[in-house]
Structure 1
Amino acid sequence: MVTVSSFQAEEQRRSIAACFARTGLTVGQLWLRYFALGGDVSEAELEEFLQGLLPLPGIQRDMVAHAVNERLDEISDVRRAPYSRDAGEDIRPRGPLAALVGLLDGAHRVAPERLPEVIATAGRALGLRIAVYLADYDQRRLIPFPEHAPGRVPLAIETGVAGQAYRRAGTMLAEDSAGPRLWTTLLDGDERMGVLEVEADVDTDLSDPALRTQCHWLASLSGHLIAAAMRYGDGLDMTRRQRRRGPTAELLWQHLPPLTAATRDVVVAGGIEPAYDVRGVTFDYALSETTAWLAIFDAGRDTGAASLAVSAALAAYRSARREGQGLHGQESAVDKALSSRFGAGATVRGTLAEVDLTHGSLHHLEAGGEAPLVLGSGREPATVDSARRSPFGAGTPGRISTARLRPGDLLALHTEGLSDARSADGARFSLAGCLDANAGQVPPEIARRVLQAAKSHCHNTFTGDAGLLLAHWPGMP
């Protein structure tokens, strides 16, 4: 290594400071880039260095220079900050911290369609090659993003290692003629967005538990960024949708909460079908440390105003719930919203529920909706006792029913369109049997499999919209 005199070090500092002034970055933004490279001085110390008040070792000066030069490369081809060593030597540190911080920094204000490049760059900090696949809205295929990436094709969720990783919401190692690769699930919290394909050089052991953990971190942060980007750009969403979605379905999908969410004490997961032609079904939930609030609404498919009615019911329910009102208050709010907006005769069927996460107490109210099903370990799915009232909008108060969940129970709220899906010969879909057959899966995979099974049973010709909302209560530790 070349030894640098104090004079040369000061000349380098002056040049770095002058170049930094042309970057348009704040000291905080420069520090974030420097930190992602492995720098270990504080933001205040970096500012003192730039002002000539604090000397830094050569390696730290070079990291600052590299952070400055990366920014200059982005904005122009101006004079670059000098290094204290051979400019051809790679000084960028590698590792999980550099990858995660680099991912955050690279995603700041980036266009959504450029996120795969940002994720790939973060992967290179771990010595990995990474590609992004997004799940389509039918949850049948994993679509490469960008969709026409060379050498990449859509993959089936039901088969293959990539699909297995998605189904299990985990990480799987594939060995094939192209070499080993990892498939790890893209997660926004607990919602599955797709998978990452991870490849490495021959001297990297993809079965290393530490590397798998790093890939999981990267996939989780990438999933958060992708979900956030979908709120302000259409490129990611256009990849996920494989056919046209009409205005009615568009409205209802925009009102849905994430299809999966979890706390330490409960996991919820749901879905609606037909995914591209849903007309009158929606669901909602809210989670806290002590309570899970659940709701599902069904306005039918036969009227043009079904989507507006079910959206009004959803909005009234959310408003009442967020004001702290209980089930009767929520029920009254939905009744009033429907009668005042649509007049007499506008009704929406539905079920409201609250689960006490400390003791497993279930309180529920059915307004023309289907009574919840409960599936527990070692016993058949059972419909809980209920006292159904007329649908929302009729203005007839209902009675709240109660039940007690056991640790490990799975609670299922559903619409008639799901349980009444029929085959060509008129046979009804067995919702209870399908839930029981898939009881060993994680809740979002149970929801996916049940809806896929119902779709196959009726050959995707639902007479009513199918809605499903699951809540798994593991019980208090």
Structure 2
Amino acid sequence: MSSLQAAEQRRIIADCFARTGLTVEQLWLRYFALGGDVSEVDLEAYLRGAFPLPRIQRDMVAHAVNERLDELSGARRAPYSSDAGDDSRPRGLLAALVGLLDGAQRVSPERLPAIVAAAGRALDLELTVYLADYEQRQLFPLPGESAPGRVALPIETSTAGRAYRNAGTVLTEEPSGPRLWAVLLDGDERMGVLEIEAAADADLNDLTLHTQCQWLASLSGHLIAAAMRYGDGLDMTRRRKGRGPTAELLWRNLPPLTAATGDFVVAGGVEPAYDIRGVTFDYALSETTAWLAIFDAGRDTVSSGLVVSAALAAYRSARREGQDLRGQESAVDKALSAQFGDGTTVRGTLAEVDLDHGTLRHLEAGGEPPLVLGTGRWPATVDSARRPPFGDGGTGHIETARLDTGDLLVLHTEGVAGARSADGARFALPRFLDAATGHAPPEIVRRVLAAAKSHCRSGFTGDAGLLIARWPGTR
């Protein structure tokens, strides 16, 4: 494209941007999500005509503007750099990402596997989506044009499972040619894997292509997770058993099972996955603080799910209003007393971590005290002064401890350590935590809950809730 044409493209993009109602920062975030790699300052300079951009970066800016204009129907669209009369869509990786974004708008969830496959063809790749079941034991192929003949793959022993366990990519040599497996991520939560086979001239040994496949897998995972919020078609692939109303309620109230910032990583899980009755957890991450909570109302009454959900809702409300641990404690107590009367209790632990210094403040209300473990250090129980369960009244003592760089913080319910084998032996939680410390928190959660489930042969006497966080110790 000539410099004159590039200048005209920039002028129209800037004109269209002015109609979007976006700030430069908001436009940059959209552009960056598409793979753009210039700074917000350079983007602003480009819009003013003071800084040139390469063709592919200009097209990314144009597409970011057009995404917003699509939301404002009828607005004039920004042009791509292709000459008039040519295909006006970008090519290569950008074409794959654009095709995925455009195709995923206003479609039923069941259509997403075909849209992902079409995005792959822009890179000369054949793609098949596999989703992990809720017990994280197997990966199941989603129905689609590339799925016939494919079967479920075990997470523990398959190559696809290795990509899932390590949250990365794995390249294998097959009789039919090389095959790449890339983990599907929604943020930092693992959804499944993407099976990638080369077509035409694509070279799966190309490390640049590996990176592009990771971007494609992450975007696919995000779109699949978003589609599950408004449809059941994809979710049904992940379910291997039915869920009762209580389990359905508690799963819908859980936050994402994994989240991370540069300063903190947290992951959680519950068992029995399809029959959870009275356990839940929550967390929130900010620039300076991480808040964690876990609640256990038992599984022996028909109201356990409603009771623990009320505790969770009261905790979230207080936390979002800026209440400290004492205010959160009071809110949960009052909510249980007001809604269920005297005698209704929930065990739990509330905690917060100062991300600058690793200071841990925590309060136990009949719950299990936190565990802390680090490199070369056996899991240690944090000193605690437990108060009665929430709903029983009283005020607990807020304890303080200090995390070291790289430490793991573990919150759990009695159902984890209390899982018993046929001969009555309790599950050795510290030993299994110690054996899994070389992995990321979501993989530690998966391994520990799988080990507890195997130990008690799926016969949990109490719901098992597990929340594991790592403080890297660096800002």
Normalising by structure 1, we get a TM-score of 0.83
User: SS of 1:175's equivalent?
Assistant: strand
Other-structure match for 1:105: 102
CA distance, structure 1, for counterparts of residue 128 and residue 199 of structure 2: 15
CA distance, structure 1, for counterparts of residue 234 and residue 205 of structure 2: 30
Of the three residues 84, 102, 109, the one matched with 1:60 is: 84
Q: Deviations over 1:231-271 (max 9, x none)?
A: 00000111100111111100000000000000000000000
In the TM superposition, residue 205 of structure 1 has moved relative to its aligned partner by 2.1
CA distance, structure 2, for counterparts of residue 42 and residue 240 of structure 1: 37
In the TM superposition, residue 330 of structure 1 has moved relative to its aligned partner by 0.2
User: CA distance change for structure 1 residues 61 and 436 in 2, over 3 Å: closer, same or farther?
Assistant: same
Q: Deviations over 1:338-358 (max 9, x none)?
A: 011111100000000000011
Of the three residues 178, 185, 188, the one matched with 2:176 is: 178
Amino acid of the structure 2 residue aligned with 1:112: P
Q: What percentage of aligned pairs have identical amino acids?
A: 72
Other-structure match for 1:452: 450
CA distance, structure 2, for counterparts of residue 412 and residue 57 of structure 1: 52
**Is the contact between residue 268 and residue 465 of structure 2 (CA under 8 Å) also seen in structure 1?**
yes
Other-structure match for 1:150: 148
In the TM superposition, residue 159 of structure 1 has moved relative to its aligned partner by 0.8
**Mapping of residues 77-92 of structure 1, within 5 Å:** none
CA distance, structure 2, for counterparts of residue 348 and residue 440 of structure 1: 33
Other-structure match for 1:52: none
In the TM superposition, residue 191 of structure 1 has moved relative to its aligned partner by 0.1
Other-structure match for 2:334: 336
User: CA distance change for structure 1 residues 324 and 253 in 2, over 3 Å: closer, same or farther?
Assistant: same
User: SS of 1:243's equivalent?
Assistant: coil
User: CA distance change for structure 1 residues 340 and 216 in 2, over 3 Å: closer, same or farther?
Assistant: same
User: SS of 1:461's equivalent?
Assistant: coil
In the TM superposition, residue 203 of structure 1 has moved relative to its aligned partner by 3.9
CA distance, structure 2, for counterparts of residue 335 and residue 392 of structure 1: 5
CA distance, structure 1, for counterparts of residue 115 and residue 453 of structure 2: 37
Other-structure match for 1:392: 390
CA distance, structure 1, for counterparts of residue 80 and residue 396 of structure 2: 72
Of the three residues 325, 328, 335, the one matched with 1:327 is: 325
Q: Deviations over 1:47-88 (max 9, x none)?
A: 9xxxxxxx9998432224xx7xxxxxxxxxxxxxxxxxxxxx
**Is the contact between residue 363 and residue 386 of structure 2 (CA under 8 Å) also seen in structure 1?**
yes
CA distance, structure 2, for counterparts of residue 170 and residue 374 of structure 1: 27
Unaligned runs of 5+ in 1: 1-26, 48-54, 68-92
Amino acid of the structure 1 residue aligned with 2:203: D
Amino acid of the structure 2 residue aligned with 1:418: V
Q: Say which is worse superposed, 270-279 or 114-123, in terms of deviation.
A: 114-123
**Is the contact between residue 133 and residue 145 of structure 1 (CA under 8 Å) also seen in structure 2?**
yes
Other-structure match for 1:90: none
How many pairs were matched up?
A: 412
CA distance, structure 2, for counterparts of residue 57 and residue 133 of structure 1: 36
CA distance, structure 2, for counterparts of residue 58 and residue 207 of structure 1: 30
User: CA distance change for structure 1 residues 383 and 400 in 2, over 3 Å: closer, same or farther?
Assistant: same
CA distance, structure 1, for counterparts of residue 202 and residue 391 of structure 2: 62
CA distance, structure 2, for counterparts of residue 227 and residue 445 of structure 1: 19
User: SS of 2:333's equivalent?
Assistant: helix
In the TM superposition, residue 178 of structure 1 has moved relative to its aligned partner by 2.9
Of the three residues 199, 206, 209, the one matched with 1:208 is: 206
User: CA distance change for structure 1 residues 382 and 147 in 2, over 3 Å: closer, same or farther?
Assistant: farther
CA distance, structure 1, for counterparts of residue 82 and residue 421 of structure 2: 73
Amino acid of the structure 2 residue aligned with 1:95: G
Other-structure match for 2:135: 138
CA distance, structure 2, for counterparts of residue 42 and residue 182 of structure 1: 31
**Mapping of residues 177-256 of structure 1, within 5 Å:** 177-201=175-199, 203-256=201-254
Of the three residues 282, 304, 322, the one matched with 1:306 is: 304
**Is the contact between residue 372 and residue 382 of structure 2 (CA under 8 Å) also seen in structure 1?**
yes
Q: Deviations over 1:264-317 (max 9, x none)?
A: 000000000000000000000000011000000000010111000000000000
Other-structure match for 1:85: none
**Is the contact between residue 147 and residue 239 of structure 1 (CA under 8 Å) also seen in structure 2?**
no
User: SS of 1:374's equivalent?
Assistant: strand
CA distance, structure 1, for counterparts of residue 404 and residue 451 of structure 2: 27
Amino acid of the structure 2 residue aligned with 1:61: G
Amino acid of the structure 2 residue aligned with 1:131: T
Other-structure match for 2:119: 122
In the TM superposition, residue 101 of structure 1 has moved relative to its aligned partner by 1.3
User: CA distance change for structure 1 residues 147 and 296 in 2, over 3 Å: closer, same or farther?
Assistant: farther
CA distance, structure 1, for counterparts of residue 238 and residue 107 of structure 2: 20
Other-structure match for 1:350: 348
Q: Deviations over 1:191-226 (max 9, x none)?
A: 000000000037432121100000000011111101
Amino acid of the structure 1 residue aligned with 2:229: R
**Mapping of residues 320-469 of structure 1, within 5 Å:** 320-469=318-467
Q: Deviations over 1:158-182 (max 9, x none)?
A: 0111000000000000112232110
CA distance, structure 2, for counterparts of residue 435 and residue 459 of structure 1: 19
User: CA distance change for structure 1 residues 361 and 162 in 2, over 3 Å: closer, same or farther?
Assistant: same
User: SS of 1:344's equivalent?
Assistant: coil
Q: Deviations over 1:9-66 (max 9, x none)?
A: xxxxxxxxxxxxxxxxxx99xxx9xx99979596999x9xxxxxxx9998432224xx
User: SS of 2:470's equivalent?
Assistant: strand
